[in-house]
């Protein structure tokens, strides 16, 4: 890993989770815990807890742009993670800002499907995501439900094997990103297996599945850890491997937590208790 006098800067562009388990809050925790300085641009405010989301208040597009300009014009952002977005125009604006400032790494976690299976983005916004942001991404990190939405497939017919997982990841790659990390956490298997594909590479990342209900924010946490490691100069493969190890340990550390009455968060700072 490189060393320098100034911290490596990771930027998260996402929605706020008032419960602290996902979204901007999880991103900042994960980036900080894995060694980079976290900046944030908030795209939406949510009223949510461990049991779900009760209200969403989108941040006006002009103010999202103001936040982005304030950071990029002042700081050297090493890597960007994009999470929850609200509408097609905001997505297009973010794409234009990224083209203007050209950070060295862009990770897109397409937050599009709620745990309940409800699609969170309107079709126009999904089209904007596919047309404008995915082609700028070095990596997209969809779960199985999000993959089905991006590909226009049945939400109830997602991959059931590693072979189908790989095939779906390659279909996603055709949307234009440099790489796809398709997360297999929703598959009914003993291990939690993700597959990373690029035009020239295929690599599997597997960890023993942690039996717990405290899984809120795992996708946000994983993508933010990958972003943090990329910001520090690690390769994509090594960043994914280290992030997968990090989220696995965070799940283990929090598996018996009772924080709220629903799906609780992971322990982002488990290493401080060692």
Q: Could you give the residue numbers annotated as active site? A: 183, 215, 217-220
If one counts every other C-beta atom within 10 angstroms of the C-beta of residue 39, the result is 20
If one counts every other C-beta atom within 10 angstroms of the C-beta of residue 76, the result is 11
Residue owning tokens 């049991």: 51
Rg (CA), the chain: 17
Measure the CA–CA gap between 49 and 51, rounded to whole angstroms: 5
Contact residues for 183 (Cβ-Cβ < 8 A; gap 6+): 141, 142, 143, 144, 194, 219, 222
Q: Are 64 and 41 in contact (CB under 8 A)?
A: yes
Token pair, residue 272, equals: 């401080």
Half-sphere exposure of 50 (CA within 13 A, CB side): 13
Q: Are 4 and 35 in contact (CB under 8 A)?
A: no
Q: Is 29 left (phi over 0), alpha (psi -120 to 50) or beta?
A: alpha
Q: Are 82 and 54 in contact (CB under 8 A)?
A: no
């Amino acid at each position: 890993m490189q060393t320098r006098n100034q911290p490596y800067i990771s930027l998260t562009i996402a929605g706020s989770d008032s419960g602290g388990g996902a979204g901007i809050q999880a991103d900042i925790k994960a980036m900080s815990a894995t060694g980079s300085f976290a900046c944030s641009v908030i795209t939406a405010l949510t009223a949510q807890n461990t049991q779900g989301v009760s209200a969403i208040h989108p941040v006006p597009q002009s103010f999202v742009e103001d936040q982005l300009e304030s950071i990029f014009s002042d700081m050297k952002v090493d890597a960007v993670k994009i999470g929850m977005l609200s509408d097609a125009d905001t997505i297009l604006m973010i794409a234009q800002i990224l083209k203007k400032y050209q950070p060295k790494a862009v990770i897109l976690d397409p937050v599009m499907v709620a745990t309940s299976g409800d699609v969170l983005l309107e079709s126009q916004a999904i089209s904007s995501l596919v047309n404008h942001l995915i082609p700028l991404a070095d990596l997209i990190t969809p779960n199985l439900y999000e993959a089905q939405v991006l590909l226009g497939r049945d939400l109830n017919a997602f991959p059931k094997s590693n072979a189908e997982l790989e095939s779906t990841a390659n279909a996603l790659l055709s949307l234009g990103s440099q790489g796809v990390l398709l997360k297999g956490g929703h598959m009914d298997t003993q291990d939690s297996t993700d597959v990373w594909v690029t035009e020239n590479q295929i690599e599997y990342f597997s960890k023993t599945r942690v039996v717990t209900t405290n899984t809120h924010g795992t996708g946000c946490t994983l993508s933010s850890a990958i972003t943090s490691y990329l910001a520090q100069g690690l390769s994509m493969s090594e960043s994914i491997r280290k992030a997968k190890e990090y989220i696995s340990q965070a799940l283990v550390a929090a598996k018996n937590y009772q924080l709220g009455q629903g799906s609780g968060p992971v322990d982002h700072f488990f290493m401080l208790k060692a």
